[in-house]
Amino acid sequence: MELALFDLDNTLLAGDSDVAWTQFLIEEGVLDDDAQGKRNDIFYEQYKSGTLDIHEFLDFQLAPLTRYPRARLDAWHREYMARHIRPMIHPAARARVDEHLRRGALTALVTATNSFVTGPIAREFGIAHLIATIPAQENGVFTGKPRGIPAYQAGKVARVESWLESLGLNLACFEQSWFYSDSHNDLPLLQRVTHPVAVDPDDILHEYARVHGWQVLTLRVVRDRI
């Protein structure tokens, strides 16, 4: 039995879906560029440095979901997918996912980005299982707060373990397991699989992968099959 886990931002996507969602809302005139754009950039730099306060970020990122009806949000998301997300998907990323699916691996997208933003992206890749930060809802309306543990850093490990447990499984059940990520923030989960893969990695992860003999690859161009 095989397990294939994929990070999303700057891994399967040649960009960041969280950043792009905020940029899309700015383009639509929903958010103010000066206030929201600058905060978005600050949070992104904190993420890259590993200093992001995930709860502070989620207060910022989830707030717009509380202000509009779901039908409007869904309509915006369809346009966002067309303008921002599909252009970020290189054929090599689709091919890597498809290869694992053809091999019959249990496959999941594991991302800190919230499930409203990432659910349709997982479906775009044909990935049935999504482990993402969950935006809480009450009576079908987003509250602006996360539900449960955000899927960030060690939280990804906790969320993956909980998901597998719900299936009657655990990581030890898999003879081979992969996790693909670009970020040193994902080291806790990368260290738990049998095949950690650094994809277009940041400098910290690239050096860690070099020292530990991990595979390093790009999903910006077509590479060999796994």
34 has a pLDDT exceeding 80 = no
Q: Is residue 225 part of a domain?
A: no
Structure tokens at 121: 């992206």
**DSSP 8-state class, residue 171:** G
Residue 163 has pLDDT above 90, yes or no: yes
What is the C-alpha to C-alpha distance for residues 182 and 28, in angstroms, rounded to an integer? 29
Per-residue confidence (pLDDT) for residue 218, from 0 to 100 = 96
Average pLDDT over residues 1-26: 95
- As for how many domains the chain has, the answer is 1
Q: Is 182 a catalytic residue?
A: no
Domain membership of residue 53 as a residue range: 2-217
Whether residue 9 lies in the annotated active site: yes
| pLDDT band, residue 226 (cuts 50/70/90) | low
Q: Is the pLDDT of residue 115 over 90?
A: yes
Structural domain contains residue 34? yes
Share the mean pLDDT of the chain. Answer: 94
Q: Which two tokens mark 56?
A: 């502070």
Given a cut of 60, is residue 225 above it in pLDDT?
Answer: no
Q: What is the pLDDT of residue 154?
A: 96
**CATH of residue 73:** 3.40.50.1000
pLDDT tens digits, one per residue of 46-104: 988 889 999 999 998 899 999 999 999 999 999 999 999 999 999 999 999 999 999 99
Q: With a cut of 90, say whether residue 224 has pLDDT above it.
A: no
| Rounded (5°) CA angle 202-212-53 | 40
In a domain, 66, yes or no: yes
The answer to whether residue 149 scores a pLDDT higher than 60 is: yes
pLDDT over 90, % of the chain: 85
Q: Is 41 domain-assigned?
A: yes
pLDDT digits (tens, 9 = 90+) for 202-218: 999 999 999 999 999 99
Answer yes or no: pTM beyond 0.85.
yes
CA dist 157 and 33 (Å) reads 35
Catalytic choice (9, 18, 182, 202): 9
- In angstroms, the CA 43 to CA 59 distance is 12
Identify whether 224 is part of a domain. no
Inform me whether the pLDDT recorded for 223 exceeds 60.
Answer: no
Establish if 166 belongs to a structural domain.
yes
18 membership: H or E segment, kind and range: helix 17-27
Taking phi first (over 0 means left), then psi (-120 to 50 degrees means alpha), and beta for anything else, what does residue 221 get? beta
Residue 92 covered by a domain: yes
Q: What is the pLDDT of residues 119-147, one digit of tens each?
A: 999 999 999 999 999 999 999 899 999 99
Residue 192 has pLDDT above 60, yes or no: yes
The whole-number pLDDT of residue 202 equals 96
Residue 89 lies in a domain: yes
What CA–CA distance (Å, rounded) separates 49 from 43?
10
